[in-house]
Each structure stands twice: as structure tokens, then as C-alpha cells.
A and B are shown apart, each in its own frame.
Chain A
Amino acid sequence: EVQVLESGGGLIQPGGSLRLSCAASGFTFSNYAMCWVRQAPGKGLEWVSTISRSGDDTYYADSVKGRFTVSRDNSKNMLYLQMSSLWADDTAVYYCARGYSHYGPYWYFDLWGRGTLVTVSS
């Protein structure tokens, strides 16, 4: 089955750090860019970060640039999001999503995980 599954969410104090993981299966992981998209409680969707197929190129939303680091291990079919200096506005469900584009300049999200909840609170 083609799927991605996130883990690593939880309750973290403001200023703390957390690492999210995403396990991919059922497709050739190294053929796809991979992305993180988040959704604050009761709010809309926000793109967070994308990493290229090789991992050589990374892209971030301004809201997380300098605090979050995306990485991948193609030998293990794993995607990661290292988050630091977390604050309340980072509270959200974080989705791992496969990035794809037929011919466009960037990506849309054709496969999503169930998400993992990150709550930043004291």
C-alpha cells in the first residue's frame, strides 16, 4: 500500500525542540520531493517545508525558516522535520505529504499522511 505515516508529535514547552518523522512505503521514495504541511487547530492549511528528491535542496516558509530543518534518508525511506525554538503559533497537526508536479515549477501534494499533533504549551 502506498502510504506515509508521521510520528513524533506531542506536548512541548515553549522554546523547546522536537523531531518529527515520516515513514514512507509502497513507492520509490527517492523519486519524489517530500513536504511538510501543517494545520493549526480549527484553521487552514500552511505549507511548511519541502526537500528535493536527493535531499540537496530544501525550502521553507518564512514562518519557520531558521528554526526548522527538513532532512531525509533515502536508504530508510524516511523524512524528518527537526523543529526548534518552538512557540505557541507552531501548535498544529503536521502532515507529511508527497510532492509532485507533471511540469509545474514546484509541487502539489498527491499523498498525505494522517498527521501528528504538536502542542506547544507550558
Chain B
Amino acid sequence: DIQLTQSPSSLSASLGDRVTITCQASQDINNYLNWYQQKPGKAPKLLIYDASNLERGVPSRFSGSGFGTDFTFTISSLQPEDIATYYCQHYDNLPLTFGGGTKVEIK
């Protein structure tokens, strides 16, 4: 199984800050890596697919990059509504797996 290691597991940042989360895969997954946002008590929401493609309707302050084993998710300017846990997920093979999540809080 492919392991996805997300870091950090949590972070605290100020409004307007640039926030970066990394996701490292245990083997090459091409660009088959997606990012989700989950707000407390809510279902996850797809933000980024195929490492760098913004899902329709998602604000442009969210972005993703990477290929192979190392991926990055960025919020360019943290907003109050971005408080959530963020997960990466690969779909290179089965089983599909998720990273452990990164909880983003406001400082």
C-alpha cells in the first residue's frame, strides 16, 4: 500500500499568511494526488485534483504542485473560512489512501 505522509499534522497561522502543507508518497504516484478540505462536522470537499488542477468553484488562493513522490498544497492568503483539516489522497493504485491530515487553525 502507498503511504502518504502529510506534514505538519497541525499548524497555526495568522490571517493573510501563506500556508504550505506537504504530502510525501512512499512511492512514485505520477501526479495522481488530490487535496480535500474538511470543515468540522462536514463532509470533505475536493479542492485540487491531479496535483495542481483547481476544482471548479474553488478560490484561486488554493493551489497545488508536485510530481512523483513530493507534493505541496498552498493557501496564498489564509482566510477565516479556511479553518479546516486538509487531506491528500492518491489514486495511483489500490488501495486508495489518504494522508493523515493537517489541521489549520488561526493564530
Tell me the A residues contacting B by CB distance below 8 Å.
37, 44-47, 50, 59, 61-62, 95, 101-102, 104-115
The one of B55, B95, B99 that contacts A47, using a Cβ cutoff of 8 Å? B95
Contact in complex: A108, B43 (CB < 8 Å) = no
Number of B interface residues in the complex (CB < 8 A)? 26
Residue B62, interface by CB 8 Å: no
Tally of A-B residue pairs with Cβ under 8 A? 65
Majority SS of interface residues in chain B? loop
Which chain A residues border B34 with CB–CB below 8 Å?
A: 108-109
Which chain B residues border A114 with CB–CB below 8 Å?
A: 42-43
Query: Which positions 81-107 of chain B face chain A at CB distance < 8 Å?
Result: 87, 89, 91-101
Contact in complex: A95, B44 (CB < 8 Å) = yes
Residue B67, interface by CB 8 Å: no
The one of B49, B93, B99 that contacts A108, using a Cβ cutoff of 8 Å? B49
Q: What would 10 A/B residue contacts be, using CB atoms closer than 8 Å?
A: A45-B101, A47-B95, A102-B49, A104-B92, A106-B93, A109-B34, A109-B36, A109-B44, A109-B89, A112-B43
A60 to chain B, nearest CB (A): 9
Contact in complex: A110, B55 (CB < 8 Å) = yes
Bound-complex Cα distance A61 to B96 (A): 8
Q: A46-B98, A47-B98 are contacts. A101–B91 as well, Cβ < 8 Å?
A: yes
A85 to chain B, nearest CB (A): 20
Q: Which 3 A-B pairs have the closest CB atoms?
A: A112-B43, A47-B96, A106-B91
Contact in complex: B98, A45 (CB < 8 Å) = yes
Contact in complex: A44, B93 (CB < 8 Å) = no
